[in-house]
Structures are given as C-alpha cells and as structure tokens.
Structure 1
Amino acid sequence: MALEKCQAEWEELEKEFQQLQETHKIYKQKLDELTNLQTICSSSISKQKKSFSDLKHSFHLCKRTKNADELEIIRNIECQIKERKNVFFDMEAYLPKKNGLYLNLVLGNVNVTLLSNQAKFAYKDEYEKFKLYLTIILLLGAITCRFLLNYRVTDEIFNFLLVWYYCTLTIRESILISNGSRIKGWWVSHHYVSTFLSGVMLTWPDGLMYQMFRNQFLAFSIYQSFVQFLQYYYQSGCLYRLRALGERNHLDLTVEGFQSWMWRGLTFLLPFLFFGHFWQLYNALTLFGLSRHTECKEWQVFMLALTFLLLFLGNFLTTLKVVHQKFHKNKDKARKKE
C-alpha cells in the first residue's frame, strides 16, 4: 500500500513536471519575443530622434522665410517634437539601456531597468524608506557623538556611515533615473559632493584643527538631519496629494532642497533651508580661518572649506532660483486675472 501511494504521488509529480516544462518553454518563447520587441522599440526611438535632429536643422534654414503661415507651421511642428521627446522619455523608462559612466564603474554593464510599474514603485518606496531610516540613524549618531561619546573611534564610525549613506544614495538615484525618475540638476550633484565631503572628513586625522571644528560639524549634522526629516515628512504628503491630482509623476522623489512643486504648503520650510545653507557658508569660513592657523598642517582643512563653500553656493543659488521663478510666475498669473 505504501509503495502504491508513493508510485501514485510520483506519477502526479511527473504530470506536474511535464506541465512545468511546457510552461517554461512558452515562457522562454515570450522572453525572446519581449527581447525582440525591446530591440525594435529602441532602434525606432533612436531613428526618430535622429530624424528630429535633422528636421530641427532644416527648420533653422526655413525660418529665414518671412511667410507667416510657414513660420506658424514650423512652430507647431517644433511644439509637437518637444512633446514627442517627453513621450520617448516615458517609453525608454521601460526599455533596457546602457548604464551611465557612474553605474558602469560601480555595477558594470548590468541591466537595471525595471519592466513593470509595480517593480518601479516598490523600488522608489524602498529608496524613500532607506532615506528616512538613515536620516533618523544619522540624527541619533550625531547627537551621541556630540553630547555623549567624545571619542575618535565613534567619530570615525559616524563619518563612515555618512560616506556609505551618500554613496548608496547616488547609486540608487542613478538606478531610479534609468527607470524614468526625473531627478536632475543640482540636487543630484549635491549627493556626489556630500559623498566627497564625508570622505575627506573620514580621512582627517585627529589633532588640534580637528578638535576645533568637531563640535561645530556635529551640531551642523544634527541640524541637517533634523531638517531632512522635516522635508521628508512634509514633501511625501505633498507629493501624495499632487500624484492623486495627476500633477506629479509617480516616480517623483523627496529631495534635500526646494523645487517648484513644493511651493504650495511647504514654503514654511524655506527659513530652515536658508539657515542650513548659511551654516554651510559659516563652516566654510571657519575652515578657511583654520587653514591659516600656524598649527594647521592637514590638507583636509582647506579642501573641506572649498567643499562646504561649493555646497553653500549650489544649495543657496538653486533654492533662490526656484523661489525667484515661482514668484514671477505667480505675479504673471495675478496680472492675467486682472
């Protein structure tokens, strides 16, 4: 009886195995079809983009005409080309593409394109959670180093955590950009600069100069983590509302700075941001002063001063530009209503 039962179970497993083989065969066929379709779409998009480039050159020559009707036709086609480029951007988010230089250096030529919306959104949410959890950990770490543990070892652990955090952010953001997230401008470069700054802090040897700047840096880190936590909390709520209204892309992210979509309901963050920017300037000035100290022999002091100055200029000017543009846009809207 036991043998008959085992034999019947084996026959059942054999049937399931045969079905699995058939299903896997179909899966491989569909996979080949998918790969072929991806190749066709990618080559067609490349061809269209090249044709658009040639058309723009031809239109440049045609614009010399004084015929109003012809100029109107050219303007309409140029507007459609601009819209088509946005469509291509969305299409390419679902097609395999070559990695940029940074991802190639870090990951090699691995395809990082996520093919389904569900996978893209899951990765984006994981990125947001990672930022939130690490922001809280860094806040607690900075408080511990500043007020509880005045040891070089704990400072090194904290600085190493900063390096790892910003390095990981740059990799994750590069993957998100490959999958259609419209992260651009200074707020991408900002993380690369922060990675470099944290690396220099990590290599700064203990000494008089380090101790003179240590408490100021840790206090700044506490404030920065606190502001980043505030930004995440309020930006995520604002993004949720805008996505529900169809005004923002589902892959848009929270950032450390200020963007135009944050204007409604988030302007209260601006004083916190500007204060943080000027604290970066204060750090730069302090370090420039320390670099002229007679006891200063470390190259890290002057390098950190330049890096903090770069961060201040990038953050302050970008935020100021967004505020200026939004102010003028609101002013123009008010005039039209009148």
Structure 2
Amino acid sequence: MNQTFEEWDELNNDFKQLEIDNKTYIQHLDQLTNLQKKCQSHLTHQRYRLDIIQRTLKELEKTKDKEKHKEDEEKIKELESNILKRKAQLHEVEQTLPKPNGIYLKIILGNVNVSILNKEENWCQNTARPAAPAEARWEV
C-alpha cells in the first residue's frame, strides 16, 4: 500500500513538471504566433514599398525626357536588379511562414490551420517522401 502512495506522490511531482513545461510551451507558442504576424506584416509592407518604387521607375521610363535620365540608366538597372533579388528574398522568407489552407484542405479539415514547423519534415512532405510524424501545429 505504501508503494502505491509513493507512486502517486511521484506521479504528482511529474505532473507539476508537466504543468511547468506546458506553461513554457504555451508562452513560446504565443511568442511564435506574434513573430509570425510581425513577419507577415513586414512582408506586406516590403511588397507595398517595392510596388511604389517599381511604379515610379515605370513612370520614369514613360517620360519624354529620356535624355535627362540617361545618366541614371545604370543606377536604374542596378535598382531593378536589386528589386528582383529582394522579391526572391521575400519569397524565401514567406516560405517559412504559415500559409492559408487550399480549398481541398478546407473541405477535408474545415477551418483548421496546419503548419509543419520542422524544416526537414516540411521538405519531406513537399517531395512526397514518407516522413516521421510531423511536429504540426493545429489551430482552430
């Protein structure tokens, strides 16, 4: 009988540790969610600003005063190249953030957001190779 009570006490201590670990997990999850929102906001802002710069460049090309802008032509080409590089960088950043589910997943899962947080498992899933159970985050 004493052994049963000792096991119960040990189980209680384990549960206290579980509660502490779970609280830490929830805090980290909240931080992750906030960082994801922040990154998404930065991405949106970067794309908006890039759009403005590109429109300005197009307007510059349309102007009849091309003679005036010939001296800036090299700078303009460099800027266009930098814009393309930045768009690629933004795309890479975007790939690390959760995306809305496609129509098929919405039909099957409903309004559940599934994100694979582990890069290796995400790669395996994208290349259709079987992977170990994924560390997935489910949001309702």
Q: What TM-score comes out, normalization by structure 2 length?
A: 0.77
CA distance in 1, matches of 2:124, 2:96: 15
SS at match of 2:6: helix
Alignment correspondent of 1:6: 4
Matched, 1:41 2:39: yes
Give the superposition deviation at 1:47: 1.0
* Residue aligning to 2:124: 122
Alpha-carbon distance in 1 for matches of 2:85, 2:111? 30
What residue is the counterpart of 2:56 in the other structure? 58
Task: Show structure 2 runs of 5+ residues with no match.
Answer: 131-140
Judged with a 3 Å threshold, the aligned counterparts in structure 2 of structure 1 residues 75 and 107 are, in CA distance, closer, same or farther, namely farther
Distance 2:111 2:7 in 1: 45
- For residues 222-249 of structure 1, the C-alpha deviation after alignment (integer angstroms, 9 at most, x for no partner) is xxxxxxxxxxxxxxxxxxxxxxxxxxxx
- Report the 3-state secondary structure (helix = DSSP H, G, I; strand = E; otherwise coil) of the residue aligned with 2:83: helix
Partners of 2:18 and 2:101 lie apart in 1 by 35
Pairwise CA distance, 1:76: 1.1
Q: Is the 8 A contact 1:98 1:109 kept in 2?
A: no
- Is the CA contact (8 Å cut-off) linking 1:93 and 1:113 kept in structure 2? no
Bigger Rg, which one: 1
Task: Output the CA distance in 1 between the equivalents of 2:4 and 2:72.
Answer: 82
Deviation at 1:25, TM superposition (A): 0.2
- Distance in 1 (alpha carbons) for counterparts of 2:6 and 2:105: 53
Q: CA deviation at 1:74?
A: 1.6
Distance 1:105 1:11 in 2: 47
Distance (Å, rounded) in 2 between the aligned partners of 1:105 and 1:12: 45
Question: Shift in Å at residue 27 of structure 1?
Answer: 0.3
CA contact (8 A) 1:94 1:113 kept: no
Amino acid at match of 2:88: N
Query: Aligned in 2, Cα 1:121/1:59: closer, same or farther, shift over 3 Å?
Result: same
CA RMSD of aligned residues (A): 2.1
Give the % identical residues: 33
Tell me what 1:92 maps to.
Answer: 94
Relative to structure 1, the CA distance from residue 7 to residue 105 in structure 2 (aligned partners, 3 Å threshold; closer, same or farther) is closer
Q: Which secondary structure does the structure 1 equivalent of 2:116 belong to? A: coil
Which digits, 9 at most, give the CA deviation of each residue in 1:6-49, with x for residues without a partner? 22221111111101100100100000000000000001101111
Q: Does the 8 Å CA contact 1:94/1:116 hold for their aligned counterparts?
A: no
Q: Higher strand share goes to which structure?
A: 2
From 10, 14, 17, give the equivalent of 1:16.
Answer: 14
Higher relative contact order (CA 8 A, sep 6+): 2
Please give the alpha-carbon distance, in whole angstroms, between the structure 1 residues aligned to 2:9 and 2:51.
63
